[in-house]
Amino acid sequence: MILLDGKATAEAIKKEIASQVEKIVASGGRRPHLAAIIVGEDGASKTYVASKEYACERVGFDSTVYQLPTETSEEELLNLICRLNNDPSVDGFIVQMPLPDSINEQKVIAAVDPRKDVDGFHPVNVGKLSLGLPTFVSATPYGIMALLEHYNIETRGKHCVVLGRSNIVGRPIANLLSQKGNPGDCTVTICHSRTKDIAEYTRSADIIIAALGVPQFLKGNMVKEGAVVVDVGITRIPADNEKGYRIVGDVAFEEVAPKCSYITPVPGGVGPMTIISLLRNTLQAYLMSR
Instruction: Note if 52 is an active site residue.
Output: yes
Helix (H, G, I), strand (E, B), or coil: what is residue 150?
A: helix
Single out the catalytic residue among 5, 91, 119, 250.
119
| CB neighbour class for 109 (10 Å; exposed up to 12, middle 13-18, buried from 19) | buried
In one-letter notation, the amino acid at residue 277 is S
**60, 24 in Cβ contact below 8 A?**
no
Q: What values do phi and psi take at 192, rounded to 5?
A: -150, -170
- 119 in active site: yes
Q: Count CB neighbours of 132 within 10 A.
A: 14
Q: Are 120 and 137 in contact (CB under 8 A)?
A: yes
216 in active site: no
Three-state SS at 160: strand
> Using the 8-state DSSP alphabet, how is residue 225 labeled?
T
Q: How far are the Cα atoms of 211, 213, 248, 263 from residue 254, in angstroms, in the given order?
A: 18, 18, 11, 11
Question: Which is catalytic among the residues 14, 52, 116, 158?
Answer: 52
- The residue annotated as part of the active site, out of 5, 14, 91, 96, is 96
CA distance 208 to 229: 5
How distant, in Å, are the alpha carbons of 43, 95, 98, 157 from that of 40? 9, 12, 9, 45
Point out the residues that are catalytic.
52, 96, 119
